[in-house]
Amino acid sequence: MKTFPYSRAMARFVPFAGIAATAALTACGNDLPLGIDENQPKTECTTDITAANGDSFVELCTVASAVRHVRIENAKAAATHASAQLLFGFASTPTVTSGAVGADQFRVLLYGGGTPAPSPVLQATWGSVDASIDENATYINSGATICFDIHDGSATAGPQFVIWVSGQRGANCSDRSTLTIATAMGARSYWRGTTGTVNKALKNYFRQSAGSGATPKITLSTTPVLDAAAITAAGSCTAAWTNNTDWQSMCTPSGGTARHVRIDGIQATANNSYFYAVIGQDASPTGNPAASAGKMIITGGRSSSGLSWTWFRFGASGTTTQFNYATDANAALYTAGSTSICFDIGSTSTGTARMVFWATGAKGADCANRSTLRLDRALYDSSTDTATGSMWNAAFITNKLNFIKTNNSTITLGNVTLSAEPAAL
């Protein structure tokens, strides 16, 4: 007899026949619906969690092969630092509720946040790599249905993961036809360059904090909605810069909010020539970039005296000094020739903004090769800025747009690439 609060007789198994079949074909006790062979490979199964299961890890039902789609109905985590989580790849009952998991283990976490901070977070963790999918997931507090695909990974790639929330962006986890890249909350496949597989041969568990009163229903399926290649392709987008001084909207990766930006081929051939990368901007901007709460402005180019300048603004009034960055070959950025820059956009453990900035050729970084983009190779990291770092003590504004702009024709840019996955954060 199992020691967790449900027996195998409480789990429901049906051969996969679409999501609607799960509710229609329900096993009661040890009896199966008429016409269902209990010896058939089980491609879908459901486990009911009771409110009494709070603070306990509950082993989930099993299917005949690797789980590639999961639906969690009525998941809830209050803004009292409560959480709900599903874990893959455990040989025995887990003993810890946070932090890294094993190299071949995976966690999907719904964290309810606290009052007044931090905000509720929807997060995935593979091994030691955390991926914040939604850092303002208020729907977690009142209860939500989420669903996700998870492909196994390989020796040359990490797991391909995409997640949806019913009622958000047009997704409905009970209707697979609504589950597309466009309706997803986010997709991940890079995992900071880490490769390997999730051990789907071991057990899967669910845990929710006590006191929520929620009774989640968890359905595991061997059939994903999207294939691995589609999830990987959704992670980034690239657009060419047009040679003018207009505000040009950056593309949006279909896999979620931009977490990494690369701007290639920046060159300033005359004094007073600048580019602006603006993160968190209202639509239809005019004039020069203006600071405001939660907005970041990166400015770079050639100063009035001919120097290479790069500086960062965040919030209504925060600004760094003008840095004179150069490559390892002592070539000044932008002014000594074409320069590629890139930066991560993320948050600290307390939910405030964090930005990390690299340039190709400086400190061993290459913006075209994300494996080189380590924190110790950054030219600027807001978390280590002792002079002006206090300006980052607020969150990035959400649900805004991102733009690129130049101030005159003597500064040119190449392609602009955005990714839903950071390189190092």
* CATH classification of the domain holding 207: 2.60.120
* Cα 88 to Cα 203: distance, rounded to the nearest angstrom: 7
Question: Does residue 350 fall inside a structural domain?
Answer: yes
- Residue finishing a domain among 176, 205, 232: 232
Same domain, 380 and 281: yes
Which domain covers residue 52, as residue numbers?
8-232
Instruction: Give the containing element (helix H, strand E) for 231.
Output: helix 228-233
What integer pLDDT is reported at residue 26 of this predicted model? 34
pLDDT more than 90, % of the chain: 84
Is the Cβ–Cβ distance between 380 and 333 less than 8 Å? Answer: no
Q: Is the dihedral of CA 403, 351, 375, 122 positive or negative?
A: negative
Same domain, 75 and 168: yes
Same domain, 35 and 141: yes
Question: Does residue 2 fall inside a structural domain?
Answer: no
Same domain, 373 and 386: yes
Same domain, 203 and 240: no
Model-level pTM greater than 0.75? yes
Same domain, 228 and 240: no
- Residue finishing a domain among 177, 212, 232: 232
Does residue 1 or residue 225 have the better pLDDT? 225
CATH code of residue 391: 2.60.120.200
Please state whether 142 falls in left (phi above 0), alpha (psi between -120 and 50) or beta: alpha
Question: Does residue 301 fall inside a structural domain?
Answer: yes
Closest CA to 98 of 78, 90, 107: 107
Same domain, 65 and 124: yes
> What's the number of domains the chain is made of?
2
Same domain, 338 and 357: yes
pLDDT tier, 320 (very low <50, low <70, confident <90, very high otherwise)? very high
Q: What is the pLDDT of residues 245-298, one digit of tens each?
A: 999 999 999 888 899 999 999 999 999 999 999 999 999 999 999 999 999 999
What integer pLDDT is reported at residue 39 of this predicted model? 59
Question: Does residue 401 fall inside a structural domain?
Answer: yes
Question: Does residue 1 fall inside a structural domain?
Answer: no
> What mean pLDDT is predicted for residues 326-349?
96
- Residue finishing a domain among 212, 232, 252: 232
Determine the length of the chain: 425
Same domain, 172 and 301: no
Closest CA to 289 of 306, 312, 262: 312
Query: Tokens 């996955």 identify what position?
Result: 421
CA angle 203, 204, 205 (to 5 degrees): 125
